[in-house]
Chains A and B, each alone.
Chain A
Amino acid sequence: MSDKKNWPLWEVFVRSKNGLEHRHCGSLHAADEDMALENARDVYTRRSEGVSIWVVESKHITASNPENNGEMFEPAHDKVYRHPTFYDLPDEVKHM
């Protein structure tokens, strides 16, 4: 194991209860995936926030470039018809 300054960064995803999705909750440093999982348990679930944890090394995440936000996201702004807001939902349908 090398100097702790060289520990890679990991992104942590926690599922707060069964049935819900894993959500990104932060990042941490760890030498490998086992340590990342244990650290995530200690740093992010100590107040019983979760029932499941995913960790992924940050370098494996491909992110969009903020400089390209214009072409990436703006075209969607004037297309309200892509929102399913024109339907009447029955009251019995939950979690929409």
Chain B
Amino acid sequence: MNQNLYNYILGVADNSLILGQRLGSLTGHGPSLETDIACTNISLDLFGQVRSYYQYAAKIAGDKRTEDDIAMLRKEREYVNVLLVEQPNTDFAYTMARQFLFDVYHHLFLTQLEKSKDLTLSAIAKKSIKEVSYHQRFSTDWIKRLGDGTEVSHQKTQEAIDSLWTYTDELFHQTEADKAMVAEGIGVDVTALKETYYKKVDEILNEATLQTPESKWFQKGGKQGIHTEHLGYLLSDLQYMQRTYPNMEW
């Protein structure tokens, strides 16, 4: 099997899986019925994308592995999502700040992935980009509302942005698999997205009357499987059913 391609797909898909799980756990707990449904809709969009990626990865693996095995049965160190998406739903400001910081990246990323020489990846990107355009619109809208809202909402959102900022740089790190796939015209050169990303984020934060953090100290490790303490708890929820009742199906 093409190990680089396999690893590359997991690098893309794991972000959506973990963020989808985070949002899904808001089901029934959203701040209002409408935002609760919106967050779980986004979660379902992400899971839909994840299925396509993992099905493709399972096909490349070419053994008995299924999409469910890849999603549910890896150990913590084998997940290669960025640290940003595993951060907890501390409050609604954090949930929206995390979503916003990821959506801006995700949209730029998919726009490039659509040009991939790999037709499956290009097709998944093409389908996902409409969903992600909406996610970005939704989270951007909320950042502006909260930032430019009341004193309390402004303060909470600034705090969320400040605290999550340290995880943004990792979005633009390349793994060995990334480099190999970029060289083959299959993968996206994320380093080339960085400038546009920070410019766009800065514009929206300005509009939201929020300060763009100046800190240059960034966390990394997720892409190498070295995670924050939050991922383990998330995975225990995510994997519970498959671990307790192996091979169970709905």
Complex contacts, B149 vs chain A, CB 8 Å: 1
Assuming A1-B145, A1-B150, is B38 touching A38 (CB within 8 A)?
yes
22 A-B Cβ contacts within 8 A?
A1-B145, A1-B149, A1-B153, A4-B31, A4-B32, A7-B32, A28-B33, A29-B33, A34-B141, A35-B141, A35-B145, A38-B38, A38-B137, A38-B138, A38-B141, A39-B34, A39-B35, A39-B38, A42-B37, A43-B33, A46-B37, A46-B41
| A56 interface residue (CB < 8 Å to B) | no
Q: Report the interface size for chain B: residues with CB under 8 A from the other chain.
A: 15
Q: With A and B bound together, what is the CA distance between A46 and B37 in angstroms?
A: 9
Complex contacts, B32 vs chain A, CB 8 Å: 4, 7, 29
Q: Which of A27-55 contact B (CB under 8 A)?
A: 28-31, 34-35, 38-39, 42-43, 46
Q: With A and B bound together, what is the CA distance between A39 and B149 in angstroms?
A: 19
CB distance from A96 to the nearest CB of B (A): 38
CB closest chain-A residue, reference B146? A1
A interface, CB within 8 angstroms of B: 1, 4, 7, 28-31, 34-35, 38-39, 42-43, 46
Complex contacts, A1 vs chain B, CB 8 Å: 145, 149-150, 153
Q: How many A-B residue pairs have CB under 8 A?
A: 33
Complex contacts, A42 vs chain B, CB 8 Å: 34, 37-38, 41
CB distance from B11 to the nearest CB of A (A): 29
CB closest chain-B residue, reference A34? B141
| Chief secondary structure at chain B's binding surface | helix
Tell me if B145 and A28 are in contact (CB < 8 A).
no
Known: A29-B34, A34-B141, A39-B38. 10 other contacts (CB 8 A): A1-B145, A1-B153, A4-B31, A7-B32, A28-B33, A29-B32, A31-B145, A38-B138, A38-B141, A39-B35
Complex contacts, B31 vs chain A, CB 8 Å: 4
Q: With A and B bound together, what is the CA distance between A52 and B137 in angstroms?
A: 18
Q: With A and B bound together, what is the CA distance between A31 and B149 in angstroms?
A: 11
Complex contacts, A34 vs chain B, CB 8 Å: 141
